[in-house]
Amino acid sequence: MFSVTLKEVMEEFQLENVTNCNSLDEILVSSSDINRPGLQLVGYLKYFGTDRIQIIGKVETTYLEALSPEERYLRLDEFFKSGFPCMVVARGLDIFQEMIDVSNKYGIPILRTKDITSRFLSGLISYLNVQLAPRITKHGVFVEVYGEGILILGESGVGKSETALELVKRGHRLVADDVVEIRKVSDKTLVGTAPDIIRHFIEIRGIGILDVKNLYGVGSVKVTENINLVIQLEFWDEKKNYDRLGLVDEYTDILGINVPGLTIPVRPGRNLAIIAEVAAMNNRQKKMGYNAARVLNERVLGEINKSSTQE
């Protein structure tokens, strides 16, 4: 289980700390599910997820406004007593004194945003999906080439960082070098980034550590990117037969998601940066429904059939 502190959520969305809670950095959010308390405010608390952030908008506020102060306090007291990370009031709406009293009683902070309820809700869910996503760490290099996120893996010294540096010189962007943090943000999407401490740095043997952002400008780096292709670099093995046609699609399993993959043999004279560029463009073509290897194969089979018919 991964978690994010309530203080981080407040800073990310610039929320107002209405109740001046001083322990926001101690309150952990471990669920990306969000709840708008409708049934809970009328007293139905069965199957209530107490690990979810609660959001109140115009509808809930209008309902509470129609109650008497005594009834409002009783409903809110029963609701807050169940426990949850925090309450967020949207649209910059006024907060009832009874809600503040109950908040102080149970130590549950109340935050407020000026954003409309639905927009804040979707933004918060997207943020929590990334922050709480299952994740692993890979030793490799992650670059963005022609809009495609390419994860380059291989043994130490095979040329991963040098390939990334050449790609940066050719106008592409570095996301991570040496350590790549990969998060599964949905059933189909993997996102890669670099640990904060080494972000935008790259190591080149014989030179040392380089700051790519300072050397090549802010346009040469990127904080995060979806992983669209995995390239496995390996030293050329004369005894191994490498794929020359590309008719069989290869995949690499990462966190249960199959990502298109390629195995590229490395030997002197091969320009790995150009190969990576072509691989990125070819992967985009495949996603658009065009596979050059299959088109060529169909042409060859067509010619063979034509010759057989003429005979």
Q: Is 33 a catalytic residue?
A: no
Active-site residue identified among 72, 160, 172, 183: 160
Active-site residue identified among 46, 240, 244, 267: 244
Q: Which amino acid is at 96?
A: F
Q: Residue 47: which region, alpha, beta or left (left: phi > 0; alpha: psi -120 to 50)? A: left
Q: Is 139 a catalytic residue?
A: yes
Active-site residue identified among 51, 77, 135, 178: 178
> Nearest-CA neighbor of 73 among 36, 55, 100?
100
Query: Burial, 268: exposed, middle or buried (Cβ in 10 Å; 0-12, 13-18, 19+)?
Result: exposed
**Could you tell me which residues are beta bridge partners of residue 265?**
234
Number of Cα atoms under 13 Å in the Cβ half of residue 122: 4
Q: Is 178 a catalytic residue?
A: yes
Residue 160 vs residues 4, 77, 143, 167, 280: alpha-carbon distances, Å = 32, 58, 10, 11, 16
Q: Is 77 a catalytic residue?
A: no
Tokens of 17: 């700390």
> Nearest-CA neighbor of 160 among 173, 179, 178?
178
Q: Which residues are catalytic?
A: 139, 160, 178, 244
